[in-house]
Structure 1
Amino acid sequence: MSAALQKQLDQLVRNGQAALLKGILHGIEKEGLRVNAQGQLSQTAHPRTLGAALTHSYITTDYSEALLEYITPVFTRSEDALEFLADLHRFGYEALGDELVWCASMPCDIPDEEGIPIARYGSSNVGQLKHVYRTGLKHRYGKMMQTIAGIHYNFSLPENLWPALQEQQQNRDSLQDFRSAQYFRLIRNFRRYGWVLLYLFGASPALCSSFLKGRSHQLESLNQDTLYLPYATSLRMSDLGYSNKAQSSLGICFNHLQTYTASLHRAIHTPYPRYDAIGLKVDGEYRQLNTSILQIENEYYSDIRPKRVAHSGEKPLHALHTRGVEYVEIRNTDINPLLPLGIDQQQADFMDAFLVTCLLAGDELIEDDECERISDNLNRVVTRGREPGLMLQFGETERSLTQWGHEILDMVSQTAAVLDRNDQDSRFSAAVVAQRLKLDDPSLTPSAQVLARLQESRLSHSEFSLAQSLAHRDTLRKTALSEKRHAYFSELTLGSLSDQARIEADDSVDFDQYLADYLAQ
């Protein structure tokens, strides 16, 4: 893996093409629950002063009406994406009154999951589709799991890099096929090495006990209202968080675009007995979009996804299959409750170097046995990542997390040096050095720091997170939103309300027909 990476980096530098990496594109999506001043889940509708969640480009909701999602445009500089995200928070706080954006991935105290409001998107067919999909998630997995929040880091390589890489590899496929194959190469290596991101940046070692009310678990009690595991890094990414036993049979390990899309297509059209028992339409109300393993492709939970921007009304899977991969969405990033935005510049710099490394490292496929090892390693890291002497599966043997982590960072440092040369800076290398320190001293990891703060303060998970949410709001509001940016957001907000009204007025078929046509794509 390391040799393949060094060879490709050397060729890019030798051919004067390393500068093409300066055009990397970034986008950030950040979820966050709206809570009241007491840290209780908001029961109010999505504020109209934030626009229409259906049509606003940058401010929407995820599963719950209370689960805000801020989405940045695509930027060539990650610092611009982070600044835009900060401005979205500042604009949002003008509309939220006394409400706060919850600063943690794991939710606030929710005594009864029936009190979690499902997001609504108006009366249009597309709005009903989004609501029914979320209703299906409720029936399939329960509401509580859908209150988990995270950060999605969207990443793509510049278009003018692909011909250079294709020539370098002497590949004769179409450029679209080559690009898709290379993104799947990145995805495979991300799945092999992505556990290191959970160790370095996981920030959910504890959760409010209400999250697991009535469920069996192996967590320990930190105090009366908080559960934890002493060496956990990211309980959000464990079986306690996003899990789906029905999906385990799909066996998707991301070797090829064609097999990936075919597997998801098959899952969307394969009935599942337990979901069939829920019913499709009962007493005139839809309970789910279909009774298959997946309602739509977004229901497949994964730490990374290949993506393609879809046309209006087009299924994302159809867009991906016909026009190839456009970018990847990194989905295993916890919200760090110690940071105002949940992510910072150093983490973004490391992510860039790590993802380029995954693109240029070896091209080996993932066989079934390795797929199982990958899953086992992820489970070990999310639940026991900081455990002294923890071993991970490595081929037919085992290797210590610390040793293997340093070997991965050795590769990332090679990439970071090239990225630094482009910027005549040392920020990428510095980001790698900072992560090395965490491998040598687990107490420097966000998960350890969060746990230490909880233990020292003797606060519950919800009390600690509420205090942090208040502090982050005050920090962000210390910097005023510029008049130009405020006017831009205000214009988008009004436009989104008009766009939703137009969509609702333009519907020409009933929802039954719309849903049938959509699923038939």
Structure 2
Amino acid sequence: MYASAERRLRRLMDQGEAELACRNRIGLEKESLRVRADGAIAQTPHPSALGSSLTHPYITTDYSEALLELITPPGDDSAETLQFLCDTHRFVYGHLGDEFLWATSMPCVLSGEASIPIAEYGKSNAGRMKHIYRRGLGYRYGRVMQVIAGVHFNFSMRDAFWPMFRTLEGVDETVGQADFVSATYMGMLRNLQRFGWLMPYLFGASPAVCASFFKGRDTRLPRFDQHTHYEPYATSLRMGDIGYTNAKEGESGVKVCYDSLDSYIDSLERAIRTPSARYAEIGVKVDGEYRQLNSNILQIENEYYSSVRPKQLLEGGERPSLALRRRGVRYIELRSLDVNAYHPLGVSPEQMRFIEAFLIFALFCDSPLVGRDERRGIDENFLRVAHRGREPGLSLLREGRECDMRAWALELLDMMAAFCELLDGGSGGIYCQALERQRAKVLDPEETPSARMLREMRERGEGFHAFALRMSESHRDFFLEESLPVARQAFFERLAVESRRSQTALEAGERETLDEYIAAYFANS
């Protein structure tokens, strides 16, 4: 499998086309809870000065009214993307007053389900449907699970890469270009599932959680102190079995399939159409009020949790699976990154460079279909690394056998070296340096952010809440130290105004009832 990646890269370089695999399109989606001065989740509405959370292209909310989601457009390099994210943070902080953004994936002190306000999107049918979907998530999984934050890394190869790569692969002329691109991305996604456990090991930053996360529920996690639970060798509890997962899909017999784009779409749509007795007990419309969009295994595609997703830009009120069926895969979304508590942006330049090289490596590798046994192994590997990733001698499942995690990780990093040199234009550059930094984490687990976090908590005598509060205040100070340039400030202010106008126009133009809107949405296939 790895030899195929090296072979493809060598052919690319022999053709003098190596540059076409560089300067790809990278975007980020970063979630952060708005919190009060004491670190508790904010109860205030989404600040109007930031614009409409329904129609703003870059500043919105996720599950909760307090869970901000900051989105960047795709940039030609990671530095451009990070600068846009930094500017967005600075604009946001100009309108938060005494509130600030929580620096970790796991949430702050919670006072039960009722303390988590569900996001509101106005009176339009589209806005009300988004709210109902989130209300359904609360009934199905509980609200607490929904306020775990993460960073999503969006990636696509540059357009000029594909005709050249298709020629190198010797693809038959009868295969359409869009089909070839989609098939290649689906192979990439299968490899990202196979190797994806490396992300929580290297970048996991949630080995501990506030005890309030489990209020009213039992947990097997040991105590770090009176107010904190943890696991000694955990890397990312967010990616473990206490986080948001589709645990019910195994009971239903529906499993999303990554064999091809068609099988992915078909299996997703089957889950959206298949009734669930468990969710039927919740009710769909009770006393004239929607509790969920439907009582099927999935309400909509976005409910399906996965560490990676194929994506296509949506047009109008288009469903994601319909967009994929019509126009194929446009980009992939890597969803397994914790918020980096040690960087104000939640993700560092070093991470960005390594992940870019990792994704290109995954695309160049051969990618056989994932069978039932390998699927179980993939799921098991994520859980092992999430809960026990730094455990001495930890083994993972590889081709049906136990293998040493550290040896496998070093093997992957060794194969990535050529891709880092490609992106650097030679050896010893910033991509190679990022790779070596990750190698150090594999050789010494104490170098990982999860280990650093627990070590600091012990040395300072602080629990999770105190640690996260300290980091959050430090990040706030970083963003408030410097004002946005006048032109950049005007750019975000204009977007805020335009988004509010768009929402107003949308609400004024409604001609169908909510019931009709929802029925038409699902009928559109």
Residues 323-338 of structure 1: pairs in structure 2 closer than 5 A: 323-338=327-342
Aligned residue number for residue 19 of structure 2: 19
User: Aligned to 2:153, what secondary structure does the other structure show?
Assistant: strand
* In 1, Cα distance between equivalents of 2:150 and 2:247: 21
Aligned residue number for residue 273 of structure 1: 277
* In 2, Cα distance between equivalents of 1:46 and 1:306: 29
Displacement of 1:293 after TM fit? 0.2
Aligned residue number for residue 148 of structure 2: 148
Q: Which amino acid aligns with 2:84?
A: F
Aligned residue number for residue 195 of structure 1: 197
Q: Which residue, out of 233, 236, 242, partners 2:235?
A: 233
Residues 238-257 of structure 1: pairs in structure 2 closer than 5 A: 238-248=240-250, 249-257=253-261
**Superimposed CA distance per residue, residues 280-309 of structure 1 (whole angstroms, 9 cap, x where no aligned partner):** 101110000011000000000000000000
Q: Which residue, out of 486, 504, 507, partners 1:504?
A: 507
Q: Which residue, out of 510, 519, 522, partners 1:519?
A: 522
Displacement of 1:396 after TM fit? 3.2
Displacement of 1:477 after TM fit? 2.1
Aligned residue number for residue 121 of structure 2: 121
Displacement of 1:95 after TM fit? 0.4
**Superimposed CA distance per residue, residues 398-433 of structure 1 (whole angstroms, 9 cap, x where no aligned partner):** 2111100000101111211111118x8711111111
**Superimposed CA distance per residue, residues 20-59 of structure 1 (whole angstroms, 9 cap, x where no aligned partner):** 1223001000000000111111000000011100011110
* In 2, Cα distance between equivalents of 1:463 and 1:520: 49
Pair 1:384 & 2:388 matched: yes
Counterpart contact for 2:125–2:514, Cα < 8 Å: yes
Counterpart contact for 1:253–1:371, Cα < 8 Å: no
Q: Which residue, out of 476, 480, 492, partners 2:479?
A: 476
The TM-score with structure 2 as length reference comes to 0.98
Residues 331-350 of structure 1: pairs in structure 2 closer than 5 A: 331-350=335-354
Displacement of 1:315 after TM fit? 0.6
Pair 1:370 & 2:374 matched: yes
Q: Which amino acid aligns with 1:434?
A: R
* In 1, Cα distance between equivalents of 2:388 and 2:35: 31
* In 2, Cα distance between equivalents of 1:499 and 1:313: 15
Aligned residue number for residue 225 of structure 2: 223
Counterpart contact for 2:377–2:400, Cα < 8 Å: no
User: Aligned to 1:23, what secondary structure does the other structure show?
Assistant: coil
Aligned residue number for residue 102 of structure 2: 102
Displacement of 1:253 after TM fit? 4.2
Residues 205-224 of structure 1: pairs in structure 2 closer than 5 A: 205-224=207-226
* Structure 1 consecutive aligned stretches of length 4 or more whose deviation exceeds 4 Å: none
* In 1, Cα distance between equivalents of 2:243 and 2:29: 19
Displacement of 1:480 after TM fit? 2.2
Counterpart contact for 2:257–2:263, Cα < 8 Å: no
Compared CA separation, residues 447 and 253, structure 1 to 2 (3 A):
farther
**Superimposed CA distance per residue, residues 369-412 of structure 1 (whole angstroms, 9 cap, x where no aligned partner):** 11111111111100000001111112232211110000010111
Displacement of 1:107 after TM fit? 0.1
Displacement of 1:148 after TM fit? 0.4
* In 1, Cα distance between equivalents of 2:207 and 2:2: 32
Kindly, what percent of the aligned residue pairs are identical? 47
* In 1, Cα distance between equivalents of 2:343 and 2:456: 14
* In 1, Cα distance between equivalents of 2:296 and 2:248: 10
Q: Which amino acid aligns with 1:207?
A: V
* In 2, Cα distance between equivalents of 1:198 and 1:463: 23
Pair 1:287 & 2:282 matched: no
User: Aligned to 2:281, what secondary structure does the other structure show?
Assistant: helix
Q: Which residue, out of 414, 426, 433, partners 1:430?
A: 433
Aligned residue number for residue 70 of structure 1: 70
Displacement of 1:159 after TM fit? 1.1
Aligned residue number for residue 495 of structure 1: 498
* In 2, Cα distance between equivalents of 1:165 and 1:504: 46
* In 2, Cα distance between equivalents of 1:179 and 1:23: 18
* In 2, Cα distance between equivalents of 1:501 and 1:321: 31
Displacement of 1:215 after TM fit? 2.2
* In 1, Cα distance between equivalents of 2:161 and 2:433: 25
* In 2, Cα distance between equivalents of 1:141 and 1:278: 12
Q: Which amino acid aligns with 2:474?
A: A
Q: Which residue, out of 319, 325, 331, partners 1:321?
A: 325
More moved, 32-41 vs 211-220: 211-220
User: Aligned to 1:513, what secondary structure does the other structure show?
Assistant: helix
Aligned residue number for residue 179 of structure 2: 177
The TM-score with structure 1 as length reference comes to 0.98
* In 2, Cα distance between equivalents of 1:473 and 1:406: 37
User: Aligned to 1:294, what secondary structure does the other structure show?
Assistant: coil
Displacement of 1:464 after TM fit? 1.3
Count of aligned pairs: 520
**Structure 2: segments with no counterpart, 5+ residues:** none
Aligned residue number for residue 30 of structure 2: 30
Displacement of 1:316 after TM fit? 1.0
CA RMSD of aligned residues (A): 1.1
Counterpart contact for 2:234–2:387, Cα < 8 Å: yes
Q: Which amino acid aligns with 1:17?
A: E
Q: Which amino acid aligns with 1:367?
A: G
Q: Which amino acid aligns with 1:291?
A: S
* In 1, Cα distance between equivalents of 2:351 and 2:505: 41
User: Aligned to 1:70, what secondary structure does the other structure show?
Assistant: strand
Aligned residue number for residue 458 of structure 2: 455
**Superimposed CA distance per residue, residues 216-242 of structure 1 (whole angstroms, 9 cap, x where no aligned partner):** 322110001000000000000111011
User: Aligned to 1:44, what secondary structure does the other structure show?
Assistant: coil
* In 1, Cα distance between equivalents of 2:103 and 2:307: 21
User: Aligned to 2:123, what secondary structure does the other structure show?
Assistant: coil
Displacement of 1:487 after TM fit? 0.5
Counterpart contact for 2:66–2:117, Cα < 8 Å: yes
Compared CA separation, residues 118 and 75, structure 1 to 2 (3 A):
same
Aligned residue number for residue 439 of structure 1: 442
* In 2, Cα distance between equivalents of 1:309 and 1:379: 31
Displacement of 1:75 after TM fit? 0.3
Q: Which amino acid aligns with 1:299?
A: E
Displacement of 1:458 after TM fit? 1.6
Counterpart contact for 1:188–1:253, Cα < 8 Å: no
* In 1, Cα distance between equivalents of 2:389 and 2:269: 35
Q: Which amino acid aligns with 1:487?
A: A
* In 1, Cα distance between equivalents of 2:285 and 2:58: 33
Counterpart contact for 1:247–1:300, Cα < 8 Å: no
